[in-house]
Amino acid sequence: MKMMFRWFGPKNDPISLAHIRHIPGVEGVVWALHDIPVGEVWPLDTLLEVKKVVERHGFTVDVVESVNVHEDIKLGLTSRKTFIDHYKRTIENLGKLGVKVICYNFMPVFDWTRTDLFKHLPDGSTAMFYEKAIINNIKPSELITMVSQQAHFSLPGWELERLDYLSDIFRAYEGITEDDLWENLRFFLEEIIPVAAENDIKMAIHPDDPPWPIFGLPRIVTSQNNIRQLLNLVKSDYNGVTLCSGSLGINPSNDVPAMIREFAGRIPFAHIRNVKVFENGDFIETSHRSQDGSIDIYEVVKAYHDIGFTGYVRPDHGRHIWGESGRPGYGLYDRGLGIMYLWGIWDSLNRLREKEHLS
């Protein structure tokens, strides 16, 4: 597997490339142009500057996360053609950099959602927390007020400057069903996958987080059956999945190792993280160690090892430890520890395989 580390760029990330360089086995950074509004073309000259900076530190720019999908595409509006054309041009520009994977998602309105970004754990560290009752009991009208006050929870897929349009977006989604969303995703993929193939870039959709509807909005990439349906929309090796153990593992009925084995040839990118799921549906993110959460990370890594995984992987969200502050879920220290835990499992599995061959 090719180990990567997410980096938000010199303007948006307190972690430097020099810091990341200290973590053994990291080949590249997972990056994006976070200052470009959704739906606009990523300019080639800006992309070339990023590539120059990253490669100067000995890293690759092989994986981009995310090229976000404009809401008009998800809604299936007539204006989607313009934004799909912009998306194609961005794919072409990224192809000129040698990018190999684009991670994206098709979650309506919001990206991953939590109710507390710095929930204290018993050991004094903090982690992102989801309280199901809060999300379930919020009406859209109340949500707008709470987001504007930055109260109770964070919605990282929604920039505060777009709050004026939040009511309009909710109205636009009234009557949009899961079937509608599937059809709009199919249209999008049929348009972009041929361009991705021409540029040798694999598109890798990220599962919905959490993997169930929120605020009355449909979510469709939530389970093994959903991923199977997604991969059948366009039968191409360039239509793949970012298999995220944390997002999918929040639902105890999802068997992540089984998904890895079934979709082996269609996982160009993997996120590995752990969560502790409580009986009432709440969950909190933990260290990567299997014993600390509800997901058996050993079995997850073993599944990748069993299929001979050669794609890209990164430690996903981590805790904040040792007094670190900054972007929630994306501290340096715990993700660095996570990488070493993943390598420890991987190296042990390699050693076991060597012994089996010798015996």
Among all residues, which ones are annotated catalytic?
A: 206, 244, 271, 316-317, 330
Tokens of 216: 């009355």
Q: 164 - beta bridge partners?
A: none
146 half-sphere exposure, CB direction, 13 A CA radius: 15
Is the sign of the CA dihedral 255, 208, 196, 310 positive or negative? negative
Distances (CA, A) of 169 to 37, 74, 89, 228: 17, 11, 26, 29
Closest CA to 231 of 185, 270, 294, 269: 185
Within the chain, where are the H helices?
17-20, 44-56, 71-75, 80-97, 132-136, 140-148, 166-173, 178-198, 224-233, 245-249, 256-262, 297-306, 332-358
C-beta of residue 129 within 8 angstroms of C-beta of residue 110:
no
State the Cα–Cα distance between residues 206 and 197, nearest whole angstrom.
Answer: 19
Residue 120: exposure state from Cβ atoms within 10 A (0-12, 13-18, ≥19): exposed
Contacts of 131 (CB under 8 A, 6+ apart): 115, 116, 282
Which one-letter amino acid corresponds to residue 175?
Answer: G
Tokens 């998904």 sit on residue: 259
State the Cα–Cα distance between residues 126 and 210, nearest whole angstrom.
Answer: 19
Helix (H, G, I), strand (E, B) or coil at 347: helix
C-beta of residue 313 within 8 angstroms of C-beta of residue 269:
yes
Indicate the pairing of strand 283-285 with strand 126-130: antiparallel
Helix (H, G, I), strand (E, B) or coil at 60: strand
